[in-house]
Structure formats: C-alpha cells, structure tokens
Structure 1
C-alpha cells in the first residue's frame, strides 16, 4: 500500500511504498510450509486435503523461485517444510491399516516439539526478509521525472597516486541523476548499485566485506530497482539546472545515496555522485576491470588522521576535476545529453562521512563551489583557509560513543566560515541514516537510527532541499525556519560572538 510520509513540507507530499518484504512466490511457499505443519493438528477428514493443497502450492512456487533466483531468507522456510513433510505425508502414503483402522501417527506429545521446531524455522524466513529486505525506493516528490546515466572520466594532469605506474592517470566514475521527461508506464527502472545486476552484485559483496558481513546477508540490495530511468531524455523547456556534486563515505560508492539524489533531481537539480577508485569498496570500469578499496585503518589515531587527510585531499581533487568536466559540458565544449542544461554558476558540493570532509576541503580550494553540504562528516585535513560558502552540516546526536574530537572540529570549521553556516542535529539519526542504509539494513537504532525506513530518507532529502533552494535558487535566502522543522538547529553567522 502507499503511505504518506509525515512532515513533507517541501513540494508535494513524498509517498513511500510499504508492504510485505517477500515476493508473491515467496509468500506462497511460506503459506504452503505453514499448511504442512498445521495439517498434523487438523481433524482426520481435513488432513489429506490440506496436505495435498499445501504440497501443490509449496512445490511449484519453490521451483519457480529457484529458477528466478532464490533468496537466503526463504531457506529456513524450506527447511521447516522439509522437516514437516514426512510427518504430514506419511499417513497419506501408508493409507489405512488392515481392518480399516487409521495409519499410525505420532502421539501429540511427541509431535508437538517437532511442530514447534518447524514453525520456528518457518517464522525465521519472514523475520529475515523484514530485517534484510529488497529495498523499495521512495517515489520522488518533485515535479520532474528522474533520469540517470554513468560516465567515466580520466584526468590527463593527475597521475594515479594509489599505483606505482607513472603512466596510470586518475580516473573517476560518475553517476548523474537529472530532471527528465516522464517515461511511458512500465518503463524499466534503473538497477540499484550498478549499471547491470552483475555490477550491482560485485558492489554489494564488496560493501558487505568492508564491514565484515557475508555478502549473502544484503543480497536484496542488488535485486532492487530505483525510481530513475537510465538515459531518459532530459526535461523539456530549456531550463538550466543547478548542480550538486557528491562524495560517498569511506569505502562507500556513488550509488549509496540514490534515494537522496533522486529526490533532489525531481526538484530540478542535477546530482553528480563519484566513485573514488582505490577508496570506494568496488569500482567497475568501462573496460570491465574492478578496482577494490586499498584504504584501511592502521589502528593508530594519529596515523589514521594523517591517512584520512591524504585520502580526503584526493577526493577533493576528484570533485574539482568533475566540476571542470561538467562546466565544459555546460558551456558546450564537450557533447553530452546535458549539454546546455547545467547551470555551473550554481554548484553545491556535498558528501557523507569522509565524503563530507572532502566536500569541505573542495570548497576551501575551489571558489566555483557556491554551497557545501556535510552529511555527518568529520572534517579531516587542514582547517585553513576558512570556508566562504554557506554550509549545512547534518549530524546525529552527540553521545558518549562520539569521537570527542568531532564536535569541536566541526564547530571550528563552521564558526570560521565567512558565510552563514547551519548545523542541524536530527533526533533519532545514526551515521547510516544519512544514506540508503535504512532502506535495506535491519532497523536497529544503533545502526540506522530510529526514524524508520519511511522517514529517514525523507528528512535528510527535505532538509537538504530547504538549504539548497535558499542558497542556490533564492540567493540570500535564509533556510533557518525550514531547517528547524527537522531537528535542533544551530546557526553560525559571520560576526557573531564566538
């Protein structure tokens, strides 16, 4: 069913699809398995019919599911059904004893523990499907449909610092989400996490490895489709759209904020999200090569800060390079579907976690960026020169587990800014609230926050839009009133007493 997300003050009310986390075939298999367990406890006259009906539902649905691709969440359901099947089918296969007496059945006090065990196994399936679902992306609330495309660009002036080959030049993969024309009903939507399902699985498994999880746990993510359409024609009307560059978190990938990017694009922004090779968990290049992450913590806080500052500098240079390429396309110096549709005089740079730190550094180094968005990112690297662009920092609440260096470091960056900065602390948020994690990870507050799968993407995107509309579209607009709707706001204005 459709459920309206609360607090949708920006544009049309955002609608989120909610419903069962199992496919119709999986639900049929689940019902068949339950019926096999229940059959043992029905009156004798009903048992054969229920058992046959259960088998008739369970077997075909399992076969078809196996053909289209079985999910691990269904395996405990099938295990429970397999354990229950001999007890449910045995009386049918043996028929009746001589003299017309019913075939032997285990006494209830013997059958009860087995039935309970089978039911517990079967129940594990829907619980696992709820905890690790195939993500369902929010329907963007803006006036535009959303298109997406992937490009790969090589910087001829920068050698790749992660390799020893002097001829290896820095290459980045960029995914663009942009306002598009509405596609016909039934048009296939873009694969999540990659251009193809194979790329999506490669990326998903690399992300899982990066946090120490077996890849099968999050196998729902590469099965998902977002709301965008690959290579959809740009929106008509000749408008030029402001641009938002995005850098993912450490080990993160360009698609990790797809729901956020699609919402922004539906409201008339072009979002360009980067894969940073050798930093992102897995980057699949156009020639088929896969580059995995080579960044890792040393365990020494001082050494790790030095490493993070270096990685952040590489990311900041990547962001500047991508803006140069987009600017060339905006001015018609390079051909592309968005030639003449990009307004590179109105550009924001943002990122999540380490990507937020990279956005802050990119803005310090490059005056072409007119605004900054830091999604819960610790400011690694140098603190000078001071920022001079309006800046929005979205953070989770500070707790005893928070790195004690984070709040003062962030405050230093915001108070030194020569433009107004905003820090918005979102109640109930966790670090992964600020990306797509709540859509497909277990709803455990310490992991994804307590806002839930519906509200998490809405709050982050709506707060971002309130800020961007004020500083990029309305010039000197002040988003403070709108931002207070979403959390606890601190405003740092130039000249305020520190």
Structure 2
C-alpha cells in the first residue's frame, strides 16, 4: 500500500512520538502474553496466506511486575503504516501505543490463584473480518487481568499484514480496501470456525497446555468474537458442547451459524444501531429460535443495542483515534460513532465482564444483565430470554 505524500512529508516527526498507554486493566492480576503457531490446513483457502497455519495469542493472569524488557508492543511497523493511512495517524504514533502485556511472564503459583484459573472457562476470541485479533487487546487484557485465560485467533493472509513470532516472516494478506462479497464472507466464516474448532481439538490447545505443564482449563470454554468472528464463535458453539457460553459483538450470522442451536447455553448479543442495514434477518430469527428452545432446555439470552456506536467502535480503534493525534487537516475515513473510545472501552469491558462472571458461576449482576441502567444509558435492551421460558421485547 502506498504512503500518501502528505503522510510521507511528516514522517521525520516520528522521532518525537512519545509512548501512549492503553487503558490499564482493572483486575487483581497483571497480564502475561505468549503466542503459538498451530499447523492446520484450510482446504481451498481463499486468502493469499499459506493456508496451513493459524496463530493463537494467549493472554493469561500473572503476578509478575511489568518491566521495560518484557512489554509487548501493540503495533509492528508494517501494520502501523497500513492502518495509519486509513485513520490519518502517523505510523510512529501508532507504534507509540504501549500495552501492559508481558512476554511469557511466569504463570501463577499460589494455590488459590491456580485453582481459580483451572476452574474458570478458557475464553476464545475471533476478531472482525480483515482485522488482527490484537486490535481488541484492551478488552482481552482486561479479561485476563480478572483471572481468565484468553485465546485470540488470527488466520494468516486475511488481515492486510500479520506479524508472526519466533523469527517467522510476517504474512501479507488482502488489501485493506478490498470489497467483501457475500460469498467471500461465508468463506471467511467457514475457515474461522474451522480454526476455532481445530484449536479446541485434543491435539490443539489441550496438547499445548499438557506439553508445557500449564494449569489452564481445557475442559470448558467460552466463545466470543466481533463481526465475522462472532459468527465463527457461534458456529463453533453449535458443534462443540465444551463451549459453555457465547458472546456476539455486533456480528451478523453467516453460513450455517444462522441455524445454530445452543440448547440453552448462555448467549449475549450486542449491536450498533445500524446493524440491521446489513443484517436484517438473522438476529430476530436466532432470538426466536433460542426462545423456543428455552421452553425445553434452560436458557439465558440478552440482546442489546449500544446507541451512538458504530461497527468498528467495538474494538480498540476508537482508542487509537482518541489517544493519538491525527495528521493536521484530516479526518478518519471510517465512521466510529459518537461514543468516545474510552467510553466504549469501559462499556464493553463492563458488560462482557458481568456476563463471563455469571457464566463461571460467580455473582449475577442483575442490574447490568436484566435491563437498562442509568449508568449506561447507551445500552438499550431489545430482547431477553430466561430459563423459565419467558421473553421480553
């Protein structure tokens, strides 16, 4: 991708970029981070990637204190250049973003900490189409700081560029401006779902945990995702009973995820107010089917709209725009809604945190999970289903 002349003329200013931190996680733990490349062939892979691997990033709780030599960078230079062009932010400013992640920090050792992580479900995340999973680092770090092990999946060749660990060359993918046909979206959904299912197979993540003698939970999972990633999580949930709950972040349902049967497992779906402009049918039909199933099996579903939001607002991107200066006399080329990045960040962390707390058997936050609250007026409830066969619209 070319660098616009206006951007190139400002590149010398990159030397002045100062470090900018993402919002700090609020949980009792610090956050460790590692990555693993799994071998898995995608038949007829439509991307320009190799088609025989996927990348898993692992966020996990640690007691280790962050240090300058362990901090994981947010952006690699290639991705910073590509995404900086879209949002009119200097690449050096994007590279100045700092995470609180610690590369391969020590695991927990205290018995009470280990017992918690062993019993809480491992959460598996799939990002929006064409996006790197790391662009939800703020949310994923927050969940890990609370005590969850979080796995984030990347399919090399789908995002414009994916940096790979351990000296492997990065993978150039589709152009960031490439249009997506309905047929291609279904193909993306299918290989994303296949990647997630392969990760949960015995020779995937469970084998990696056993090989490293870790205590992470390999028996129960929660699946969640943004956009196409949410459909992949839903389709995987339909096929694997070990996925005990799902969270759909503004994701249309594609392919066979449209007909997913969850048999009462908890499911949270949240959308931007323009969601129906591109997906008018799948969510109402899904909620109705879930309600009918709840008459037979216990069920729990929430469906909300975040007023003032936009599709990409459910990621870290609004934080980039809020925290970093834009090139003078320019504006971002993508609508991020009217809710600030920090507000959306806090909102998503609050509701996902309450949901997974409920799923793991912790405190049920009825104030947040059962209807509108004064603290979050942006969140409007569209529907809910409960285990006694009741529904509200």
Q: C-alpha separation between the residues in 2 aligned to 1:206 and 1:361?
A: 31
Q: The residue matched to 2:121 in structure 1 has which SS?
A: strand
Q: Which runs of 5+ in 1 are unaligned?
A: 1-65, 75-128, 194-199
Q: Determine if the alignment matches structure 1 residue 70 to structure 2 residue 13.
A: yes
CA contact (8 A) 2:84 2:94 kept: no
Q: Determine if the alignment matches structure 1 residue 192 to structure 2 residue 135.
A: no
Q: The residue matched to 1:345 in structure 2 has which SS?
A: coil
Distance 1:218 1:426, change over 3 A: farther
For 1:218-297, list aligned pairs within 5 A.
Answer: 218-237=91-110, 238-239=114-115, 240=118, 241-286=120-165, 288-294=168-174
Q: Determine if the alignment matches structure 1 residue 172 to structure 2 residue 54.
A: yes
Equivalent residue for 2:192, pick from 292, 297, 315: 315
Give how far 1:367 is off: 1.9
Give how far 1:436 is off: 0.5
Greater RCO, 1 or 2 (C-alpha within 8 Å, sep 6+): 2
CA contact (8 A) 1:178 1:265 kept: yes
CA contact (8 A) 1:433 1:456 kept: yes
1:84 corresponds to? none
Q: Determine if the alignment matches structure 1 residue 305 to structure 2 residue 182.
A: yes
Q: CA RMSD in A?
A: 3.2
Q: C-alpha separation between the residues in 2 aligned to 1:463 and 1:317?
A: 28
Distance 1:456 1:493, change over 3 A: same
Give how far 1:437 is off: 0.7
Give how far 1:248 is off: 1.0
Normalised by the length of structure 1, the TM-score is 0.63
Residue deviations 1:12-40 (CA, integer Å, cap 9, x gap): xxxxxxxxxxxxxxxxxxxxxxxxxxxxx
Give how far 1:298 is off: 8.3
1:360 corresponds to? 234
1:456 corresponds to? 344
Q: The residue matched to 1:349 in structure 2 has which SS?
A: strand
2:23 corresponds to? 138
2:268 corresponds to? 392
Distance 1:365 1:478, change over 3 A: same
Q: The residue matched to 1:465 in structure 2 has which SS?
A: helix
Q: C-alpha separation between the residues in 2 aligned to 1:160 and 1:147?
A: 35
Give how far 1:386 is off: 1.9
Q: Determine if the alignment matches structure 1 residue 183 to structure 2 residue 65.
A: yes
Distance 1:479 1:322, change over 3 A: farther
Normalised by the length of structure 2, the TM-score is 0.78
Q: C-alpha separation between the residues in 1 aligned to 2:272 and 2:219?
A: 31
Distance 1:306 1:272, change over 3 A: same
Q: C-alpha separation between the residues in 2 aligned to 1:470 and 1:348?
A: 12
CA contact (8 A) 2:322 2:340 kept: no
Residue deviations 1:387-431 (CA, integer Å, cap 9, x gap): 332111121224xxx443524311222332243211122233222
Q: The residue matched to 2:277 in structure 1 has which SS?
A: coil
CA contact (8 A) 2:80 2:95 kept: yes
* Worse-superposed segment, 174-183 or 235-244: 235-244
2:45 corresponds to? 161
Give how far 1:186 is off: 5.5
Give how far 1:236 is off: 2.1
1:150 corresponds to? 35
Structure holding more helix per residue? 1
1:492 corresponds to? 385
Give how far 1:230 is off: 0.8
Q: C-alpha separation between the residues in 1 aligned to 2:227 and 2:192?
A: 12
Give how far 1:366 is off: 2.0
Give how far 1:160 is off: 6.0
Equivalent residue for 1:350, pick from 224, 233, 242: 224
Q: Which runs of 5+ in 2 are unaligned?
A: 1-10, 294-298, 324-330
Residue deviations 1:219-238 (CA, integer Å, cap 9, x gap): 42222210111111112223
Distance 1:134 1:375, change over 3 A: farther
Residue deviations 1:176-195 (CA, integer Å, cap 9, x gap): 110001316656422113xx
Larger radius of gyration: 1
Runs of 4+ in 1 over 6 A off after TM superposition: 295-299, 443-446
Q: C-alpha separation between the residues in 1 aligned to 2:48 and 2:268?
A: 38
For 1:52-131, list aligned pairs within 5 A.
Answer: 70-71=13-14
